[in-house]
């Protein structure tokens, strides 16, 4: 059997229920969780080998700047953060 490397850390991305509700409305989607009582929902689980938060991938930075109606956060584009993201992800890849 092949020897596979194991990830050292999991970066778990949470959104508040209020944020999930806002984005669901903005994207004109049905809120399938409307009858569930929760404070936060897991949006993403990223395996990684570093013990710090990695830069978002460039497309996520761009989508966030586009707004909630496109599945983003609505936070304006920060050019410095975007360039940091591009620099990091030019040298690293996500394998699924």
Residue 93: φ, ψ to 5° = -130, 155
Nearest to 26 by CA among 86, 84, 74: 74
How far is it, in rounded angstroms, from Cα 75 to Cα 66? 8
Residue 71, by phi and psi: left (phi above 0), alpha (psi -120 to 50) or beta?
left
pTM listed for this prediction: 0.66
Does residue 96 belong to any structural domain of this protein?
no
State the pLDDT at residue 5: 67
> Domain limits at 46?
9-91
Q: 1 pLDDT band (50/70/90 cuts)?
A: low
Q: What's the pLDDT tens digit per position in 25-63?
A: 888 889 898 899 999 999 888 888 889 988 988 998 998
Q: What's the pLDDT tens digit per position in 68-78?
A: 777 777 889 99
Enter the tokens of residue 89: 């992800």
Does residue 4 belong to any structural domain of this protein?
no
Does residue 2 belong to any structural domain of this protein?
no
């Amino acid at each position: 059997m092949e020897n596979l490397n194991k990830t050292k850390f999991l970066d778990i991305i949470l959104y508040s229920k209020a944020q999930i509700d806002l984005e669901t409305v903005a994207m004109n989607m049905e809120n399938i969780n409307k009858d569930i009582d929760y404070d936060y929902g897991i949006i993403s689980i990223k395996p990684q080998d570093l013990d710090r938060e990695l830069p978002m991938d460039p497309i996520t930075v761009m989508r966030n700047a586009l707004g909630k109606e496109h599945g983003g956060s609505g936070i304006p584009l920060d050019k410095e953060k975007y360039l940091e993201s591009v620099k990091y992800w030019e040298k690293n890849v996500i394998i699924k």
